[in-house]
Amino acid sequence: MSDKPSYLDFNSQAYEWKPDIDYKQHPELYRVGKGEQGVLICEPYKSEIGQFWRFKTESIAEESSSKIYELFLAYVEHHDFVGADMARKYLQMGFTRARRYANYKGGKKYDKDKDYALLEKGTGQQEKAKAAAVFYSRWKQAESNALYAQMKKDWKSRLG
């Protein structure tokens, strides 16, 4: 397996999520996928949730993750699984992106000038580690929501 980033060989035609689909109008086309897949594509959720996604400092992460978690709860309450899953993905992405900035200077993991070799870990910002911890807590809180978990199980068994 290569250490190179997966986006180098990205095949947009084969990608399940499409930017020209309104996933509120056509939720049946949404797939859960792995991790954060589709999070920066699926509209209108990308616009509804993404505007609040910030992780520069611990306090900004607190405010951001709280707002996104509120949206998550509202989507769950309205039985909007796609919205809830997208909000959960933004919480997860807050964690992973903040961790990347905590681990790597400038958040850059690969050196494109050196055949995408992994850069040295441990050169990042410690403030981002605190932001990552905030998002991690909210992400796990969302995943442990019983109604969301049941909605996800039902969705995956019906639609994938």
DSSP string, 138-154: HHHHHHT-HHHHHHHHH
Residue 105: its pLDDT value, please? 74
In 10 A of CB 75, how many CB atoms? Answer: 23
Residue 111: its pLDDT value, please? 66
What pTM does this model have?
0.85
The domain ranges of the chain are 18-158
Residue 16: its pLDDT value, please? 75
CB 141 within 8 Å of CB 72: no
Q: Where are the beta strands (DSSP E) in the chain?
A: 110-111, 117-118
Q: Say which residue the tokens 């807590």 belong to.
A: 137
- Nearest by Cα to 53 from 34, 43, 40, 37: 40
> pLDDT averaged over consecutive 10-residue blocks of the chain (160 residues)?
58 73 95 88 96 96 98 98 98 94 74 68 78 97 98 93
Residue 1: its pLDDT value, please? 43
Q: Which residues pair with 111 in a beta bridge?
A: 117
Residue 122: its pLDDT value, please? 67
> What DSSP element (H or E) covers 68?
helix 58-77
Residue 160: its pLDDT value, please? 76
Alpha carbon distance 80, 97 (integer Å): 26
